[in-house]
Structure 1
Amino acid sequence: MRFSWDQVFAWRVRRQFVDPRSGGDAVAVAERLCGVQAQVTSAAETAVALRCSSGMPGAVAAALGEGTLFKTWAMRGTLHALTPELGAAALSLMGSARTWEKPAWTKAAGATPEDVAALVKAVGEILDGRVLTRDELVREIIAEPRFQPLETHLRSGWGSMLKPLAWQGALCYGQSRGTAVTFTHPTHVVPGWSGIPDPDAAAPTLIRAYLGAYGPTTPDIFNNWLTRNFLSKPTVRRWFSELGADLTEIEVEGRTGYFLTEHLDDLAATEPTTAVHLLGQFDQYVLGPGTGDTALLPGDHRAKVSRTAGWISPLVLVGGRIAGTWELDKGDLVVSMFDGAPVPTAEITAELARIADATGQPVQAVRSA
């Protein structure tokens, strides 16, 4: 079966609640997007607000407080707000890569696989029914002499030593205490937390969810999205294969990938669009397929979106393709279109109220960079 990228991107715009927006809440958006990157809290709030008819920030924080979402290190080792079911599935597959057992990780962290196993047990016990700041948690961990050499890595704001513990379900983020982040056990923040499932049981859940927002895809693209290709390629290919008739291989302008069979009729009925939409920084629309997808983001413009220190720029979409970036400057929305294309001023002006509501910042006018 053959389709065009214009159809695919129009389908993704609709599936990802870019247009039309969801009448649901932060949980519905996070579920559809397979999590919302929450490395920068305001970015997560903007991503959800732009996709909800209510359109106001604060929905992610509210869902985290209710336990309908939880925050932890997941895809690519970055912080995400996730629904419990998809979060547990993602953690299962992340953990199955066993990155902390690789010699390079052991050398960099100074912790052996045995140390990590001991940390999982110790931290699970320390955080049972408790919420601790990083400093409080580290002090209790290093009370055990075995862990004292790991103190510097445990205190790192990058969380390099804590990520393997999160992937094994020993900890997740709790409610912030002032400006200090806190950690707790998932059972403390997620009602009815059922633990981390077996990877073979978790894979169908996560693959189906991913394809439902970012299809078509390949096992390699899915692997890159999830772990930056740390998972065994034969294992990921097996997971896709075992979905059998649930998946159909399709061709999009010479590129083949898997698509959910149940969505094929919807894709075939999708008409291309020329509509203009704005999305915020670190948005899943580009993080899902990856900034290396040249059908979505032209390769010669990648550096304008994927910037230094892992920063992902706010996006201008035209027909579902990334056609530029934007930023807020003293009440103006400043647009940089690719290849010298004219700024679609009228269409973007119509989005200003929506951007102001979603970001909580005043926006009065559009101007070109």
Structure 2
Amino acid sequence: MRVPEVTRQQALTWRLQRQHLTVGAASVVEVVRTLAAVSVFASDPDLAVRRRLDEPGEPGEVQRALADGRLVRTFSFRGSVQVMAPETAGAYLAVRSAGRQWALRSWVDHYRLEPDDWPELRALVREVVANGPVPPQEIADAVTGTRFDHLAREFAEPNVTLIKPLCWQGDVVLGPDQSVGLTLQSPAAASAWAGIPPLDEAGPQTVLEYVGTYGPCTREHLDHWLGGGLSAGRARLARWWAEVDESLAEVDVDGETRWVLADDLPGLVDVRPESSVVLLPGKDDWVMGPGTKDEWVVPAECRTSMTRGANPVLVDAVVRGTWRLSGGAVEVDAPAAPSDVTAREVERLEALLRTP
């Protein structure tokens, strides 16, 4: 069977549509579910999400979705905090937990906490946060006088390294309001929370979701996202890829072999390349999903600025410069960007940033 051929510009045009950058989404949750996770640190999750909506609404949409439980905030990718959809977050957390970092000898020795001790500690923590959000001090108070007394200081500080495995295993998520400092609550506070599925279900699911959002992609891209991002391990990723092989389709992109979901192949082949200018916040998933080493999206001369979290200017889906706010106005440094299209995108972005 002949492998379908598409151009790189077709592929990137299609990906822009899939990630709601040229075809807007209907809701905040739809955007976050599509992207899997939206970074909080060194980024602007509200801008990243609202730029992808048909009707962007007012600033603060993501915070409102966190407050009413449509989204959750937790430690996941790259050890940092992400905004995630409660319906799908559990699958990524299952992958993040696969490596069982808390069972490493360095962890066991430092925290004086054996792997077999975790179920009892986790149960205690779940009880504390059930009526959250609560500060970590309440967990410190709860462990005081128990056999986990030596961890009271760690929770009181708080030591987020110790809190991360509790997030990965689905015992806690971070409270919705960052302005009051670190708080913890049960993920079940989000009505759509689906729990942590078995790893043999979660792994293949996350592979399919990545290919659906970031395709046409290579195995190396998947290793970056679920391996480097979530520490899944190459052997597991290879096994999961093999398990979903029948759901994937090979495609030739300007002579390079990549993969998409088989169901998406007709749409990709039929897509017509389009010119565009898109302004995004730093650390946006458009860049972080394939990774800053992917020269399809990030040319070598732009890699340093993207790694440092500069705001990217996409010209025909490729990073060609940066932008910044100066006195409330958007200033663009991207000589390759067409002035008329850029002006319209600047106007759009300034409207998104404008408070009522």
Q: Structure 2 length normalisation: TM-score?
A: 0.89
For residues 17-75 of structure 1, the C-alpha deviation after alignment (integer angstroms, 9 at most, x for no partner) is 111222x11011111111222236x7110011111122232221222222221111122
User: What do residues 161-188 of structure 1 show as CA deviations (whole Å, max 9, x unaligned)?
Assistant: 111111111100123275223101111x
Q: Deviations over 1:108-142 (max 9, x none)?
A: 76755345444323212222233211333334344
- Corresponding residue for 1:365? none
For 1:107 and 1:298, locate their aligned partners in 2 and report how far apart those are by CA, in whole Å: 44
Q: Is this contact kept in 1: 2:140–2:151, CA < 8 A?
A: no
Unaligned runs of 5+ in 1: 363-369
The alpha carbon displacement at 1:154 in A equals: 6.5
Provide the C-alpha distance between the structure 1 equivalents of 2:269 and 2:173, rounded to a whole number of angstroms.
Answer: 41
Query: Residue 15 of structure 2: which of 6, 12, 30 is its match?
Result: 12
Given the alignment of the two structures, is residue 251 of structure 1 paired with residue 257 of structure 2, yes or no?
A: no
Alpha-carbon contact 1:315-1:325 (below 8 Å) kept: yes
CA contact (8 A) 1:109 1:153 kept: no
Partners of 1:300 and 1:153 lie apart in 2 by 43
Q: 1:246 to 1:58 in 2, by over 3 A?
A: same
> 2:108, 2:317 → 1: CA distance?
42
1:144 matched to which residue of 2? 146
Task: Measure, in 1, the Cα distance between the counterparts of 2:178 and 2:326.
Answer: 31
Of 101-110 and 124-133, deviating more is: 101-110
Is residue 2:3 matched to residue 1:3? no
Query: Are residues 1:328 and 2:325 paired?
Result: yes
Q: Is the deviation greater in 27-36 or in 349-358?
A: 349-358
Structure 2 residue 273 is the aligned partner of structure 1 residue 272? yes
Contact 1:34–1:82 (8 Å) recurs in 2: yes
Paired position in structure 1 for 2:316: 319
Which residue number corresponds to residue 177 of structure 2? 176
Q: Which residue of 22, 35, 38 maps to 2:37?
A: 35
Helix, strand or coil at the partner of 1:19? coil
Alignment of structure 1 residues 227-238 onto 2, 5 Å: 227-228=227-228, 230-238=231-239
Cα offset, 1:297, TM superposition: 0.5
Q: Distance in 2 between matches of 1:138 and 1:46?
A: 36
Q: For residues 1-369 of structure 1, what are the structure 2 equivalents within 5 Å?
A: 1=3, 2-22=5-25, 24-39=26-41, 43-55=44-56, 56-103=58-105, 106=108, 112-114=114-116, 116-144=118-146, 146-149=148-151, 151-152=153-154, 155-156=157-158, 159-176=160-177, 178-187=179-188, 189-191=189-191, 193-228=193-228, 230-307=231-308, 312-337=309-334, 341-360=335-354
Segments of 5+ residues of structure 2 without an aligned counterpart are none
Distance (whole Å) between structure 1 residues aligned to residue 186 and residue 92 of structure 2: 17
> How far, CA to CA, are the matches of 2:213 and 2:178 in structure 1?
34
SS of the counterpart of 2:180? coil
Q: 1:286 and 1:224 mapped to 2: Cα distance?
A: 12
Distance 1:70 1:151 in 2: 27
Give the CA deviation at 1:344.
Answer: 3.1
Distance, in Å, in 1 between the alignment partners of 2:316 and 2:289 is 18
Deviation at 1:210, TM superposition (A): 1.6
Partners of 1:284 and 1:69 in 2: CA distance: 17
Q: Would the alpha carbon gap of residues 20 and 192 (structure 1) be closer, same or farther in structure 2, given more than 3 Å must change?
A: closer
The change in CA–CA distance for 1:224 and 1:345 in structure 2 (over 3 A counts) is same
| 1:296-321 superposed Cα distances (whole Å, 9 cap, x missing partner) | 101232111111xxxx2211111111
- SS of residue in 1 equivalent to 2:332: strand
Please give the alpha-carbon distance, in whole angstroms, between the structure 2 residues aligned to 1:300 and 1:134: 43
How many aligned residue pairs are there?
A: 351
SS in 2 for 1:205: helix
The CA distance in 2 between the partners of 1:143 and 1:176, in whole Å, is: 30
What residue identity is the alignment partner of 2:338? P
Q: Distance in 1 between matches of 2:216 and 2:149?
A: 45
Change (3 A) 1:361 1:299: farther
Kindly tell me: are residues 331 and 131 of structure 1, through their superposed partners in 2, closer, same or farther at Cα, counting changes over 3 Å?
Answer: closer
Question: CA separation in 2, counterparts of 1:357 and 1:5?
Answer: 31
Q: Percent identity?
A: 28
C-alpha spacing 1:255/1:155, structure 2 compared with 1 (3 Å): farther
Q: Which TM-score applies when normalising by structure 1?
A: 0.86
Is the contact made by 2:282 and 2:311 (CA closer than 8 Å) also made in structure 1? yes
Separation (CA, whole Å) in 1 of partners of 2:150 and 2:337: 56
**How much does 1:209 deviate?**
1.9
